[in-house]
Amino acid sequence: MSDYFQELYNLAVELIHRGLAYVDQVTPEEVKEYREKKMNSPWRDRPIAESLKLFKDMKRVYRIKFAHHPQVGDKWCIYPSYDYSHCIVDSLENVTHSLCSLEFGIRRPSYYWLLVALGLYQAYVWEYSRLNVTNTVMSKRKLKRLVTEKWVDGWDDPCLMTLAGLRRRGVSSTAINSFIRGTGITRRFNSRQSSGMITNFHHDSVMQRCGLMLHQLIPLHITRFRLQMSFIQSNQIFLLRIQKISMASHLE
User: Domain-by-domain residue ranges, the chain?
Assistant: 1-67, 81-128, 132-209
Could you read off the pLDDT of 114-165 as tens digits, one per residue?
899 888 899 999 888 888 888 888 888 899 999 999 999 999 999 898 999 9
Return d(Cα 50, Cα 12) in angstroms, integer: 14
**H helix or E strand, kind and range, residue 193:** strand 192-193
Q: What is the mean pLDDT of the chain?
A: 78
Phi-psi region of 158 (alpha: psi -120 to 50; beta: other; left: phi over 0): alpha
Could you read off the pLDDT of 237-247 as tens digits, one per residue?
555 555 544 44
Look up residue 133 and give its amino acid.
Answer: V
SS3 69: strand
Superfamily name and number for 132-209: Glutamyl-trna Synthetase; Domain 2 (1.10.1160.10)
Q: What's the chain's Rg over C-alpha atoms?
A: 33
Under the banding of pLDDT at 50, 70 and 90, the label for residue 95 is very high
Contacts of 56 (CB under 8 A, 6+ apart): 13
Query: What sections of the chain are H helices per DSSP?
Result: 5-17, 28-37, 48-61, 82-92, 108-118, 140-148, 163-169, 173-183, 196-209, 229-234, 236-251
Comparison of pLDDT for 150 and 192, the residue scoring more: 150
CATH class of 1-67: alpha beta
CATH architecture of 81-128: 3-Layer(aba) Sandwich (3.40)
Could you read off the pLDDT of 20-31 as tens digits, one per residue?
888 787 887 888
pTM across the whole model:
0.56
Please count the other Cβ atoms lying within 10 Å of the Cβ belonging to residue 145.
12
